[in-house]
A and B are shown apart, each in its own frame.
Chain A
Amino acid sequence: MNALVPLLVILPLVGAAVTLILGRYPRVQIAISVTALTAVTIAAAALLAVVDRTGQPAVVKVGGWEPPFGIVLVVDRLSAIMVVVSALMLLGVLIFAVGQGIADRDRDTPVSIFHPTYLILAAGLFDAFIAGDLFNMYVGFEMLLAASYVLLTLGGTGSRIRAGVTYVVVSLVSSLLFLGAIALIYGATGTVTMALLSDRIRELPLDVQVILCAALLIGFAVKAAVFPLSFWLPDSYPTAPAPVTAVFAGLLTKVGVYAIIRTDKLLFFDVPLTVPLLIVGGLTMLIGILGALAQADVKRLLSFTLVSHIGYMIFGVAIGTELATGATIYYIVHHITVQTALFLVVGLVERVGRSTSITRLGGLLKKAPFVAILFFIGALNLGGIPPFSGFLGKVGLFEAGAASPSPLVYVLIGAGAVTSLLTLYALMRVWNMAFWRPKEDVEGYESPLTESLQESPEATNGTATGVATATGTSKLMVGATTGLIAMTICLTVFAGPLFDLAQRAAGNVATPEMYVDSVFPGGVR
């Protein structure tokens, strides 16, 4: 069964190589990418089943080198859940992208480079999730970042280059911080294997631990877009093509959150992080959602809600109990799915309504009733309306907070509730303006709702992004979006078993000794 572990990284990488060679045959490329990602999804699901049944992490010593000398790949329940969910998302978005390529008749997009890059992004993502040592995690991050630079600047239009510059520079700085932190940790402990670090870090003086932990967390916080390091996200994501934005929004920030969970629970469990994380978590929620309220462009609005909802996850990590970690894991799964799905729906809206600005959209309910239903479900879900998974995830977090009460936790619960309502407000305004409002009302529309809205820089310049000019949807695009929305509903229907699974994963995370034992069966030397 352990043979499946390296496949998670190898399959996408081989797929990337083959699709790069076969750049002239788009159909073959599509077949290979879909096959590779399907295979990874199946492998990851099998791994999740096995790891969950035995409760023991699957450990692979790459090249047969014993840790701490060689690289280890460790798949515990948390890693397996993350890999399964991201593989499903990548597959869904890939199908959407293929559908979009068919609708465009492959004229405007340099597709030959899309598939290899996309698969390398997948490989880097999975590598970061299953890495058993910090440096391998860094390599995984760099793989997915390098691929994301290319995807974000796909086509090389002016607005994308402008957005890409911000994104690349911010990512570079965060990577260098991460690398510097690894160097310091190596200097302090003499290893980068996480299992060994978990054992050695607690022997360090507490002040050294705090410095090392802060260095790592700042690097990860930039990637996870935690306030005040979140400014770059709403500026760079919305300009990319719709499928790319969907993948970035769903997955890239969650890698940062995943890394924060690992840092907090496996490496630095002695460092008291609750109060600082609670404060940044609360600020991330509130400031993110206040930003969303001012946006007229739906893509930018969703990017701000993305930042805001990262705050919930930080809140869960901050509480730190097993219950809270379980709720966080469930929330991450919910948020990956719903955010990806919503961005895909906006991709459809963009092509049906030829704009993403709610001051210009109108009458979509009549024009595209099915897209309207998809958006409505996704919006209610993200806003946390019962019975959807967004509500269940938030209730889980609030319950976990109330179980370990402190004044600050109660403030955060309040902030979380307010954020949830404001999310609903922002999304329902999109619903009212873009879907509910008749098309003929769009000209000269005046309402207090739209007074303070801020258009995106591209819209005011009058230069639309390359995608906005393309219209028409294909069945594949709608199908992929429907599939993802159906998945968010499944998260609600099967919330009981999934929540239990998340709690079992949290049980793994809460006992770092088990992680250490599985990597060093004979005890740490």
Chain B
Amino acid sequence: MSASITLVVLMAVLYGTGVYVMLERSLTRILIGFLLVGNATNLLIFVMSGRSGDSPIIDGQTDAASTVDPVPQVLMLTAIVINFGVTAFILALIYRSWWLSNLGDEGDDVTTGEEEDDAAEADQAQVFHRSLEGDDAAVRTVLEEGGDAEDDIDGGRGPEPEASERDRDVMR
């Protein structure tokens, strides 16, 4: 079996960077690492089909020896779909984790029927919305300044230091 060296090198790089990023504590980076490693594994499956060749369509003219092995492509396709579903779930998990670290469980209860609680929660919700607007504004300024926005948008770490503290607590 022979394989393209480019793909093998690409796979190795993806595995290496993926595992490295996955070792971070931030959930978003874990997700990025998972995507890289997942794609590296897909490439590994792809590499197993050997040399490149004609598309494996049997129409009476193609020579079976010159076509590629279609099975790894099928396996890869299934693996991609599964990765996609899991990614969607992790994104939801990250969002929930960010929500909890910013608002706590109270963020879920909009009305409890008790007026005092409702008032307190309404206050909290307002504070939250204000902080959201603040975040948006901060992101916008950063974008306009053309600075490196990447540092701010990872792992659901808010701009406030204490938010990121709590965030880490949730992840631990």
Residue ranges of A at the interface with B (Cβ–Cβ < 8 Å): 135, 139, 142, 146, 149-150, 153, 156-158, 161-162, 164-165, 168-169, 172-173, 176, 179-180, 182-184, 186-187, 190, 192
Contact = CB atoms under 8 A, between A and B. Distances in A.
A168 B82 contact: no
Contact of A165 (B27, B47, B79, B104): B27
Interface in B74-92: 75, 78-79, 82, 85-86, 89-90
B82 A142 contact: yes
A162 B172 contact: yes
Contacts of A169: 22, 30, 34
Contact of B37 (A139, A150, A156, A176): A176
B114 to A, nearest CB: 16
Contact of A183 (B48, B78, B85): B48
Contacts of B47: 183, 187
Given A139-B78, A161-B170, A176 B41 contact: yes
28 contacts: A139-B78, A142-B86, A146-B82, A149-B86, A150-B89, A153-B96, A156-B96, A156-B100, A161-B93, A161-B96, A161-B170, A162-B170, A162-B171, A165-B27, A165-B97, A168-B89, A169-B30, A172-B34, A176-B34, A180-B41, A182-B45, A183-B41, A183-B75, A184-B44, A186-B48, A187-B48, A192-B71, A192-B75
Contacts of A164: 93
Contacts of A173: 22
Given A176-B41, A179-B45, A183-B41, A161 B89 contact: no
Most buried by B among A135, A139, A156, A180: A156
Contacts of A192: 71, 75
Given A135-B75, A183-B41, 11 more contacts: A139-B82, A149-B86, A150-B89, A162-B170, A162-B171, A165-B93, A165-B97, A168-B89, A179-B79, A182-B45, A184-B48
Nearest to A153: B93
Interface residues of B, number: 32
Contacts of A157: 105
A158 B34 CA distance: 23
A142 B72 CA distance: 18
Nearest to A159: B170
A75 to B, nearest CB: 23
Contacts, number: 77
A11 to B, nearest CB: 22
Contacts of A186: 45, 48, 71-72, 75
Interface of B: 1, 22, 27, 30, 34, 37-38, 41, 44-45, 47-48, 69, 71-72, 75, 78-79, 82, 85-86, 89-90, 93, 96-97, 100, 104-105, 170-172
Contacts of B37: 176
A153 B170 CA distance: 13
Most buried by B among A153, A172, A173, A180: A172
A168 B38 contact: no
Given A135-B78, A168-B89, A192-B75, A161 B41 contact: no
Contacts of A156: 96, 100
Contacts of B104: 158
Given A180-B44, A192-B75, A161 B90 contact: no
Contact of B45 (A142, A146, A172, A183): A183
A351 to B, nearest CB: 21
A493 to B, nearest CB: 43
A182 B171 CA distance: 32
Nearest to B75: A135
Contacts of A182: 45, 75
Contacts of B171: 162, 165
B170 A179 contact: no
A149 B89 CA distance: 8
A187 B41 contact: no
Contacts of A180: 41, 44
Contacts of B172: 162
